[in-house]
Amino acid sequence: MARFLAALSLTLTLALTLSAKDWPQFLGPTRDNAVTETVAPWKGELKPVWKQPVGDSHSSPVIADGVVYAFYQPKDKNADALAAFDAKTGKLKWEKSYERPEFKPLFGNGPRSTPAVSGGKVFTYGGTGILACWDGKTGAINWKVDALKEFKAKNLFFGTSTSPLVVGDKVVVMVGGKGAGVVAFETKTGKPAWQATDDPASYASPVFINEQIITLTGSHVRALSVDGKPLWEVPFKDKLNESSTTPIVAEKLVIASSVTAGSIAVNVSKADNKFTAKQQWENKSLTCYFSTPVAAGSHLYMVNGAATLTNPTITLRCVEAKTGKVAWEKKNLGQYHAAILRCGPADKPRLLMLGDDGYLTLLEANPKEYTELARTKVCGKTWAHPALVDGKLYLRDEKELMCFELKK
């Protein structure tokens, strides 16, 4: 059991084909908001190396083999588009799209889900439930599947948002159909490989940790094997069905967060090839809307807020991972969202935080107090997560995709 927990704490085993200088999926190379690059404090304003106009989306940019991919809704079209840009110059390589039904949710049109790049292919999951596989060099669509239609599942209020997870020769998404809460599709053909659970879908994304597909569904924190076999589950339901954060691991615990239910930690053990999962702690005040927490050392750094239309505000909190107790907090950092990225070596981690007001902040991951190192405005309003590759920060706001140089 001890060996299993140690592996769960330290190992993020990913099946993507990637280089050391890629950010090929949601939340980065290891899908945990973390890279080993060190970011030094900057002085004054940061000016973009390049910027390009893009369509409506909350989808985050991904980078693979020197190419930046952006997923969005083209202007004045009922379609999902994927575009490829040269990572150094921003030059457009290609833009391709497919038509889909009109969908106009609150808080912005276009896709919410972030693409995944693997083996020269780009996998996208649009807001109407269309899963597509694109050729990374040409933009040609190899296949696409209307997952909601195929599995008779209803769309979510704000649209399908789970970001695809590639595990070996399968791409995994939440669908939310009867017997098809989570579905794996063959990466070569788009044909269903397996389907599991009756869980309703959420807006969250799955992660692959220690040979387990762990996801926060509309009703549980649960784990599946690579062939779809249920391994363990813990009930965890958001009252508004707006769970949007990716599960993470800290201090040998699986951490899950929601906008109304707060946060919980799950202790997972294994004996005689059977898993046992028990809730370790619960803190209902740690309400995360759609900002996934970051683990640094023995602490979590998370953005907490509430689903309200009246004077929304967010608070950054440092939390003991083992207990759920708050070490410190910094209030009024934005309205609904801030994306956090951990950077640097494990013994001296720093945090990059991009707020929904367009301000970029560099912080020490200091469990004793809020320690700000640099801060400047870099873009307009945004809910997308930035990507850090080889000293360059790629991000998007409501109108543009941008690249900033952070390496001195």
- What tens digit of pLDDT does each residue of 302-311 get? 999 876 767 8
Query: CA–CA separation, 202 vs 108, rounded Å?
Result: 18
Structure tokens at 5: 């927990």
User: What is the pLDDT of the chain when averaged over all its residues?
Assistant: 93
Q: Per-residue confidence at 202, pLDDT binned at 50, 70, 90?
A: very high
Residue 34, C-beta contacts closer than 8 angstroms, at least 6 positions apart? 28, 294, 295, 341, 342, 343
Q: What's the rounded Cα separation, in Å, for the pair 133 and 145?
A: 9
Q: Give the mean pLDDT of 180-191.
A: 98
The pLDDT of residue 15 is above 50 = no
**Rounded CA separation 170/213 (Å):** 12
Please state the separation of Cα 301 from the chain's center in Å.
Answer: 15
* Residue 20 confidence class, pLDDT cut points 50, 70, 90: low
Strand partners of residue 208: 213
List the end-to-end C-alpha distance of the chain, in Å, as a whole number: 45
- Residue-level pLDDT at 269: 94
377/341 Cα distance (integer angstroms):
17
Backbone angles phi, psi at 400, to 5 degrees: -135, 155
pLDDT tens digits along 92-142: 999 999 999 999 888 888 999 999 999 999 999 999 999 999 999 999 999
So what's the pLDDT on residue 240? 83
* Amino acid at residue number 329: E
Residues 204-240: tens digit of each pLDDT:
999 999 899 999 999 999 999 999 999 999 999 998 8
Residue 29 scores a pLDDT above 60:
yes
Where exactly are the structural domains of the chain? 2-405
DSSP string, 327-365: EEEE--S-SS-EEEEEES-TTS-EEEEEETTSEEEEEE-
Cα distances (Å, whole numbers) of residue 341 to 224, 289, 300, 301: 27, 16, 12, 10
Note the CATH architecture for domain 2-405.
Answer: 8 Propeller (2.140)
Q: What angle do CA 78, 82, 85 make, to 5 degrees?
A: 140
Q: Are strands 220-224 and 230-235 parallel, antiparallel or unpaired?
A: antiparallel
Banded pLDDT at 161 (limits 50, 70, 90)? very high
pLDDT in tens, 266-298: 999 999 989 999 999 999 999 998 899 999 999
**How many CB atoms neighbour CB 99 within 10 A?**
8
Q: Please give the average per-residue pLDDT across 60-82, as a whole number.
A: 97
Entry field: residues in the chain? 408
> Phi first, then psi: what are they for 2, rounded to 5°?
-60, -40
pLDDT in the model for residue 243: 86
**pLDDT for res 21:** 79
Rg (the chain; Cα; Å): 19
For 75, phi then psi, to 5°, come to -60, 130
Q: What pTM value is reported for the model?
A: 0.94
| pLDDT class of 1 with cuts at 50, 70, 90 | very low
Task: Say which residue, 241 or 203, is predicted with more confidence.
Answer: 203
Name every residue whose Cβ is closer than 8 Å to that of residue 338 and which is 6 or more positions away in sequence: 291, 303, 314, 316, 353, 354, 355, 356
| Half-sphere CA count of 98, side-chain side, radius 13 A | 21
How far is Cα 108 from Cα 226, in angstroms, rounded to an integer?
34
- CA 392 – CA 175 distance, rounded (Å): 34
pLDDT above 70 covers a percentage of the chain that reads 94
**DSSP assigned state of 3:** H
214: enclosing H helix or E strand: strand 212-216
pLDDT for residue 17 is more than 70: no
pLDDT of residue 2: 45
Handedness of CA 293, 263, 211, 15 (dihedral sign): negative
Rounded alpha-carbon distances, angstroms, from residue 373 to 353, 364, 370, 391:
11, 7, 10, 17
Residues 193, 214: Cα–Cα separation, whole Å: 18
